Amino acid sequence: MQTVFSKAEELKNENVPAAFCIVVGTSGSTPRKQGAKMIVYADGAIYGSIGGGSVEKEVAAKAVGLIVSGKREKCVFKLEQDLSMHCGGTMEVYIEPLVPVQQLIIFGAGHIGRALAKLAAEFDFSTTVIDPRENIFQDLSFSHTNCLNLDYFQAIEKIAFTDNAYLVIVTPKHAFDEEILIKVCRKPHAYLGMIGSSRKVELVRKRFLDENILTSEELDHIDMPIGIKFRVETPQEIAVSILARLIDERNSKSNLST
């Protein structure tokens, strides 16, 4: 049987909604002591146990609500007073939703795409880099990155996009950037950004509106020019700007209370 920790990691990787529950304190007589753990699924099913009975049912019900809200909480249960459990002690249980692993899909394996993929590995993104150029990945020296040496549009058809996907367009050609943007804009995603000068972005926006390619609302949800605005010069600095935006978007969307 898997440990609760390994099961939690598996569920995160598979984007299964669930919450991790751990007993962080007890006093008096309780069914389990500090350190007891379980996972609660969105339908209320459990993996592991914090002792059974009314307290476990109460924790499971609380966890289901927190999975929906995305918040975490420490709950205190007086077993006899609150739950009519004869053991009569007190349990403190910390509940935290499992945050799914975010997809980071980078179109373009040039200097910026490479620098971003390398940085993102330190921040729990599941990264895929796409580029059709011959031998483009030959000297790639970092791990934990899925490299697709495919035509951009073939890759788009193969990828299973999710609501946790962060899409970054940094190809070497403006024409590729624009066509990829059109193809992925209506795919499921949490974030979509495209590199470019202010002038390029202005022209793209005008053309897309004039030709009824994308709506004004859809364009407003695209981060372009991509990244947090600060003075940058090198590809590595641009990658830092993009990563900062990704982290900001991810943390804003998680809506976890402290």
Give per-residue pLDDT as tens, 169-224.
999 988 899 999 999 999 999 999 999 888 989 999 999 999 999 999 999 999 99
Q: What is the rounded CA–CA span in Å between residue 255 and residue 232?
A: 29
Q: In the chain, pLDDT over 90 holds for what percent of residues?
A: 56
Fold adopted by 102-254? Rossmann fold (3.40.50)
For 11-58, how does the pLDDT look when each residue is reduced to its tens digit (9 = 90+)? Answer: 887 778 899 999 999 888 888 889 999 999 999 999 999 988 888 888
For 124-157, how does the pLDDT look when each residue is reduced to its tens digit (9 = 90+)? Answer: 888 999 999 998 888 766 667 888 999 999 999 9
Q: What is the rounded CA–CA span in Å between residue 130 and residue 107?
A: 5
pLDDT at 178: 93
Nearest in space to 108 (alpha carbons), one of 130, 93, 137? 130
- Region label for 252, one of left (φ > 0), alpha (ψ between -120 and 50) or beta (otherwise): alpha
Q: What is the rounded CA–CA span in Å between residue 129 and residue 137?
A: 9
Nearest in space to 12 (alpha carbons), one of 137, 97, 74, 72? 97
pTM over 0.75: no
Q: How many residues does the chain have?
A: 258
Q: What is the three-class DSSP state of 41?
A: strand
| Mean predicted confidence (pLDDT) in 225-239 | 88
pLDDT at 233: 83
- Domains of the chain, by residue range, sit at 4-97, 102-254
pLDDT at 86: 64
